[in-house]
Every structure is written in C-alpha cells, then in structure tokens.
Structure 1
C-alpha cells in the first residue's frame, strides 16, 4: 500500500493559514490502547521506539513544522490546530527536546551553577532548590566545581556563560577585578553568599555577620571571655564577614584569637593542637565540618565538650554517620530558601526584570549540647 503524500506547505512560517494534513484515522496504537493482546513484545517495542514530532503531527493531522511552532511558541497558529497538537502530545506521551526548544527561542534552556566544593553538604542543599526553580521554568541545571581554586573560577564561569542562559556563582572566591570583568559581559549573573559594594551584579546571601554576632552574644551570656576562631578559606567573603563580627565582639568583652584553619573536617582535626595551646574556653569553627573534626580531635585528647571546652559551628549541617552533628550548637540558615531566592532572582534577571540590590537572609542560633558556661569563671 502506497504511503499517502504529504501536501506541500504554502503558508509562510508565521501564517495562521496552515494547510492541514488529511485527518488521521486515529492515534497510533500503544500498549495501553491495544490491551493485553499486545503482549510484552508490544511493550518492549514501545519502550525501544521514542515518540517523535512526526508521530505527533500524523496523529494531529498537521505537519511536523506546525507541531514545532505550537510547542515552541515561535509563531501564531490557528487555535484549533494548536488544540489538536496538544491533544496528540498528551495521548502519545510525547516529551519535547528541551535543548531543541531552547535553540528555537534563541536560548540554551539551561542555567549554570559554579560552587567551590561539592563535597560540602551545604552546596547540594542549595542546588536542590535551584534545580526545583529551574524545572518549573523548563530549564536544566549545569553544575561546575572549582575545588576551592580561586584561579580557576573565572575560566569556569566563562564556560558556563557560553552554554547557559544565566549563571549562579555560589560563594565565589575570585577577586573583585574578575567579577567586574564578568559583569561587563552583560550576561545574567547572580552572586550567592558574596556581596561586592558598587558592583552591578545582584546577590543573595546569608547574614553571616549577624549570625556570628548571635554566637558572640551567646558566649558572653554563658560567661566566656577567651575564644578561638578556626578561620576558613582566605578568599571567602563569608569568612571575612565572620571575622568582622568577631572584631566587633570586643564590645561584648570577648577576646577572639583567629587561627588559620580551612573548610573541611580534616582541617578542623589538624587545628585542635593550636586550640589547646591558646588556653581558650570556647572555639567557634568556620563551618560545621571544621567543628566536627575539631571536636573529634579534642575529645581524643581527653577534653570533655562542653564541660572543658565549648564548640560552636556554622551552617547547621546534619551528617547521618556523625552523632556529633546532632548535638552541635551552630548558626543556622535556610539553605533551601537561599537557593530558591537566588534561582528566582536569576530568572527575573534573564527576563530583564531584575534589580541589583543585594538581599540578605537572616541566620538563627541553634543552641544544643556543645556550648555551656566555662569550667572556671573569668576572674
């Protein structure tokens, strides 16, 4: 039996006078419609052959070009033809190619996210919310990691700009000059946990200064006066905000010694000796991972927490195989809200509907079992 010839299209691409194909006798058989008689062979065949845009056009009685225009929204199409296309899409379970749709609109259909360390549970929590927002807008998410290498961030950000409609830079370590250069590209970019005064890049950040101020107030109320801070990455803006809060803590009567450390549990473990040498009654860690490592080493040395030494973290990270994560006093923030607001702000920016004012999310102090009054009250 000869295959029916498809009529030549005579209308212009944007015309609503779209010639129709002969109405299809019915939608192609699927295992659901053919019932049990189709058997497992029919089901295997349905899984192996993906429904195409041509299948949708045949079922709707229109051309593949019309299907494309309906799904991409790139031209006006007769409402009745559009209705038939959408009905066929639903009946066949057709899934449009997101990349192809983006190209038709002149978009990549994706946003990029650059993070310094994917092994830190902080960032996957943020990424989950970013991904949820992206999905609602029909976008994919591309993630890159700099491995705490500030020198590589600029090149990685450029890579993301080339293949993504917008970019989120999470806790970027690159210097101001590099950020200024990226801003001049005119590409939608939002900073997460980084505020650069005078730079026209929107930002959404946790209030780390406010969070550490809460920590200092808590320690003061407990009676601590000599405190050590296990400092994070030198290029981290969030670390600088913490230190700024500790410098202001002199008003609370707290003397804070900054000890260079890092951002991992191993760094915290290795810094325990320096903590003991300082003779402090409390230690505040750059993040919870550092606190976990420091606690492990301090307790191995015979110190009791919090009886002999109070320990406070930051980020409120729960690690299932570390019981210490459930008893750590820490400065907490809603990471899911941080990711959601950052992604929404990027969507607004890509729609040319965003402002550049920095936004700050408050932190809370979670008082648990690792902070207590000092063993010996200060004289």
Structure 2
C-alpha cells in the first residue's frame, strides 16, 4: 500500500460501504498527515472527529477559495480562483455571517415543515409512476433525482422542465475524472442559465426564494446580481445532488439490512435516527470541507504552518472509534446526530433541515407503498460513483 507520506489525495472508494484503507490508516497512525494533492501541491489531512470539529469551527482556518493555499482536489482547480464569483461557501467572518443570515430563514425547521405536504405530494406522485411502470425500474431516475430536484426548483423558482440541463452539467462538474475545461464549462453553463433567470426575476420577482431575495436585498440596499447567481448555483447543486445520492444509498442500506428496515416499518418514529446513522455511515461529501490555515496551528503535536491547505476528512471522522463504537457497523438505532456529514461550525450545511425532511418522507413512503421492494442486481454489481466528488449511485435497478 502507498505510504501516507506519498499518498495522493483524493483516494477513490473501493468498497461501497467503507472508507478507503489508506484513510483509515491515516487516522490510526497520527492526528494530522501531510499528503500530495493535484497540481504538484500538498496539504494536511485531519482525520479524527475531535480535530475535524476543531478545524471546522476555528477562525484560524479559512474557507476562502481565493487564498493561494486553499487545497483543491481536482486538477486545475486552482484556476477557478480567477473565474469564480466569491460565494457564501468560500467566505469567512465577518462577510460570511450576513450572507448566510440573508437566506437562513428559508431553511428553518418551521419553513421546512410548511413544505412537508408538498414534498409528500411529490413523493407520492413519483411512486405512483413507479408502480404504474411495473417490472424493473431505475430508482435514481424515477425517484432519487426527481424528488430533491423538484423541491429545490420550486423553492428557488427554477423551471423544472430545465432539470435535464442542470443535472447533466452539475454531474459533469462533480466528476473528478472530467478535465478542468469540461468542469469549468459545465459550471459556467449553469451559472449563465441562473444569471439569465435572475435577470428575468429582477423585472418581475415571484414568490420564490430568488424573488424574495431580490426584493429583500434591494430593500436593504445590498443587492448584487452576481452574488445572488453564485448563491443560486450553490443551492441548486447542493440541493439536489447530495439528497439524491443519500436516497439511493439509504435505500440500498435498508434493503441490505432487512432486520433494521423492519423496525422502521413497525415504528416510523425511528426513521430520523436511521437517517442520522446513514448520513454518518456513508458521509457522501467526504472531502468538501477543506480549509487553509491563516496562522500556525498545532493539532495533535503537529504544527500546520500558516498558508498551508487543510482537508477535513469527514468520512474517517465519522468512523472514528473513539466517538462511534464499532463504526463499521450500520446501526440504524444509533442516532448519531454528532456526525460531521453536514459539516460543523459556521459553514454547517444550510439545507440540512430540508434534506432530513426529504429523506424521512421518501423512506417512510417508499417502503410503506412498495413493501416488496428489492434490488434487481447484487450490491457488488451496482454502479457506484467512485469517480465523483459526491458519492452515490449512477443507477439503482429495483423490482418488487
């Protein structure tokens, strides 16, 4: 096996239900490990749960993608600094707080609870179509992608009839195997699309998130077209890719653990605990929480120099045996809400309440209405996204 001193990040998953062996070895060997990253650069990897939460909640580590030391894990990623409008995900205090606060009200528990009837309606309609189709269907195409895509489109005010366009291009932008030019082109196409949509809304703001943001920010005198386009891009990608992949992976996990699925069927009140465990277990966005040190910081006896990139490896943090007993065991009653699958600190996932609601409604409804659901292929034959920045499944063939 490659030694950690020579390890090239990121490492693809080889087992669908476990971190790469190299990641586990890093956590076992030392708190912080120096690794190579694309473009002949290096960074430090933090692998333990306590240290991960420290980095993600400490102002000595910056989220600024324009900082020369920020660690990009795809070749050519550094060139995005010259092309990207600064977005909320790449802001630090004091700039980050007001940007996040401006849209936070759209994702409160109260606001998401008000959306639940509509999410239920969407899920029921899609499952109606699945049952009407009969035979073998691809659950990614028929349910996993459409649910969060429809919800985020309605929330933002993006026409759902354009979903094929943005799903195609966001998928390409997230593939690590795509060239820098392909990824940049994909992102720019989606950004241009959203920019044009926002231009139309500026003349006639509707009662949707983008329209409300235009009215609100204009009233405050802080409205910027490009800033809203960047936020829309972030919310559109994060709002459907992550949840879609968790629906697919969670379905596989439940079907592969029928004893635990039976407990959820018997008591749907357990579903939320099961979701927290599945989020911990899969940690689908395992290297997205990168930072750059803005001053020298010591972690576990190792000094990370100012200006060096830091990668918080959420997958190994969520499988840290010092925090999660027998982490390799999928225990749907664990209720592991202290996981870092949604990040931690000021940049913790803005849409986590929405994601939880969508997952709960999908799992409860799917297994109630399609009790005989089963995989149409063995797990080892499924097409997992080992080449993507967000882990999941390209297809999930099922029957019942």
Relative to the length of structure 2, the TM-score reads 0.23
Higher helix share: 2
- Structure ID, larger Rg: 1
RCO greater where, 1 or 2, for CA within 8 Å and sep 6 or more?
Answer: 2
Relative to the length of structure 1, the TM-score reads 0.24
